[in-house]
Amino acid sequence: MPEATSYAPPTARRPVLRIESGGADWVMDEVATEMPLTLFVNNVEVATLVATPSDLEDLVYGFMVSEGIIESPRAVRLVEVDATAQTARVLADANVSQSAQRMFERRYIASCCGKGRASIYFESDASALEPIVGGPQLAAADALGLVQRLQKESEIFRRTGGVHNVALARPDGTIVATRADIGRHNALDKLYGHCLQQGIDTSELICVLSGRVSSEMLLKAAKLRCAIVVSKAAPTELALALAEEIGVTVVGFARGERVNVYTHAERIAL
């Protein structure tokens, strides 16, 4: 559905005193922008997401499905994103009051920013996911290439250094889609929402991250049915425990000439 108004720019220019090599000068610098987006589903306030003002409809779809508010995009009747009012209003075939209550009764709290952001997940999230079997094979050298390609395609990051980037890619190195956001969870939800709306089969694709592989990021990638998650950063212990259980291959520290394969190494070729 068309948005009620256009989004604000994802970056802004501001003066900064740059001190370098013993000298100082005022220059114009580019910084990432952010905005709160309050999500209402069937007139129930669900959450406020603090996000980069781009691909907001993708964010809404991905967030609702990944957090279990709706089961699939087919449940959605209407989406209206109003960037001026900083709201997203959704009509959907869903018991939203019950879903929202479940979201805020979860027992485990993940590392996430943004007041009101549903940054928590059920203990049963992992057990509710079908284990991932099969999936693509990936050469270790190609894992390095995917991270490098993600960085090259991350225009907002190149301009500001202030956002996280995620991508879905084929084992041959082809990037299928990328998304960026100040929040790494939002970036992956945007990617998820894009795939849901476009009907993209993600089961043979590789999830590439610019930031650390936390437990929540691992679960979101698993909901996309991605068998391999590659990042230039580190994973957490809980993420690796979940990856072992669910059947996800986690590749971290993909930088320079090395990679660390933490779980299900059978999918990574030397």
Please list the active-site residues: 113
User: Do residues 79 and 134 make contact, with C-beta atoms less than 8 angstroms apart?
Assistant: no
Beta bridge partners of residue 108, listed in sequence order = 121
Sign of CA dihedral 45, 56, 196, 168: negative
Q: List CB contacts of 4: < 8 A, sequence separation 6 or more.
A: 80, 81, 82, 83, 84, 85
- Encode burial over 26-57: b for 16+ CB neighbours within 10 A, e otherwise: eeeebebbbbebebbbbebebbbbbbbbbbbb
Q: Say if residues 109 and 215 touch (Cβ distance below 8 Å).
A: no
Angle between helices 56-66 and 184-198 (to 10 degrees): 90
Backbone angles phi, psi at 102, to 5 degrees: -60, -40
Give one word for 43, left, alpha or beta, with left for phi > 0 and alpha for psi -120 to 50.
left
Residues 6+ apart with CB under 8 A from 101: none
Which of the 8 DSSP states describes residue 263?
S
